Amino acid sequence: MFQRELLSVYFVAGTQDCLHLSTETPEQKLLSTLETALQAGITCYQFREKGELALQDKQAQWQLARDCQALCRQYGVPFVLNNDVEMAVKLGADGVHIGQKDMAALEAIKLIQGKLFLGISNSTLYELQNSLKLPDIDYWAVGAIFNTASKPDAMQNVGIDLIRQAKQLAPNKPLVAIGGISVDNVANIWAAGADGVAVISAITQSDNVMQTVQKLKTTY
């Protein structure tokens, strides 16, 4: 069951985000980073294996997704799949997240049949207005708020005002901000009215994940 508190510190990552680490394989790098983040207190995890540097073998992706899901279950944290609705349903994930260019939202809603929670990305007011028309969307992701290298395909630096616009448009819709968020700027995100922050490099590039997660939370 979805609750807006799950968005508080929403970790998004795949092997492509952990290649700089020194552990043996890409899979081990991600799993080690995820477990550290879970121990630190993240409230949700999204498996996002995407891009040229990600695992290309589908079977390897499935196995890694299962391993990540098992870790999340161990710590009682929701496990979300990025874009791949079919994989999410077959794995029995807790949720699935889609972008504006991914599978049509209505098709995703039909496939998950209310068994998984569903989030959708938004980077403009126009997209927010479209998302408002969709039934059964549990939360909105808004961004990239600041410039980010983690998602080169994302619209960059849409600004904090988009969070405020989203809240004016749908005051009760749970909202997570994403894109270039760090411990140095997260206070501005909370002040704008977001229910949570979604981060990639803030955790994968951190020298002290425990401290980073706590700062992301306590700045609220």
Domain-wise residue ranges, the chain: 4-218
- Write down the pLDDT at residue 153: 56
**pLDDT at residue 152 in the model:** 56
Tokens 């980010």, residue located: 148
- Is 102 marked as a binding-site residue? yes
Which residues are CB-contacts of 168 (< 8 A; sequence separation ≥ 6)? Answer: none
Catalytic residue among 29, 48, 215, 217: 48
Per the residue annotation, which of 29, 151, 167, 217 is the catalytic one? 151
134 neighbors 156 (Cβ within 8 angstroms): no
Yes or no: say if 89 and 116 are a contact pair by the CB < 8 Å rule: yes
What gap in Å lies between CA 212 and CA 69, rounded to an integer? Answer: 23
pLDDT at 100: 85
Q: Is 48 a catalytic residue?
A: yes
73: annotated active-site residue: no
Question: What residue ranges of the chain have pLDDT lower than 50?
Answer: none
**In residues, how long is the chain?**
220
- The answer to whether 82 is annotated as binding is yes
Q: Hey, which residues does 98 pair with through a beta bridge?
A: 120
Catalytic (active site) residue 151: yes
- Architecture (CATH level 2) of domain 4-218: Alpha-Beta Barrel (3.20)
Q: Is 49 marked as binding a ligand?
A: yes
